[in-house]
């Protein structure tokens, strides 16, 4: 836990000098996370559809693409509102 707290403090040092770089890295990590996690579950989409589904506003065409978008929305919820989320059996 201490290592995490230290890393969070150092993270601020990198945010100011290179916000575009951090944004690109964050987006790449998000795309890879969505792809890998869904592939583990047997959900795949065409490579040219992955990026528009994850970072764009592409509308899902089938069930697999809906799974990709749903996972993306779940990650977004966790990353933006984690402190407000209460972990319960139903959630």
Q: How many CA atoms lie within 13 A of 82 on its CB side?
A: 5
pLDDT along the chain (91 residues), means of 10: 70 69 87 94 93 91 95 88 82 69
pLDDT of residue 16: 66
Two structure tokens written together for 24: 């690109």
pLDDT of residue 43: 95
pLDDT of residue 22: 79
Q: Which residues have a Cβ under 8 Å from the Cβ of 19 and sit 6 or more positions away?
A: none
């Amino acid at each position: 836990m201490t290592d995490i707290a230290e890393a969070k403090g150092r993270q601020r040092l990198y945010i100011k000098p290179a916000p575009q770089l951090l944004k690109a890295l964050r987006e790449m990590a998000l795309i890879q996370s969505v792809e890998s996690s869904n592939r583990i579950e047997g959900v795949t989409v065409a490579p040219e559809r992955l990026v528009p589904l994850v970072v764009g506003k592409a509308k899902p065409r089938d069930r697999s693409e809906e799974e990709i978008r749903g996972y993306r929305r779940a990650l977004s919820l966790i990353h933006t509102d984690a402190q407000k989320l209460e972990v319960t059996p139903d959630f």
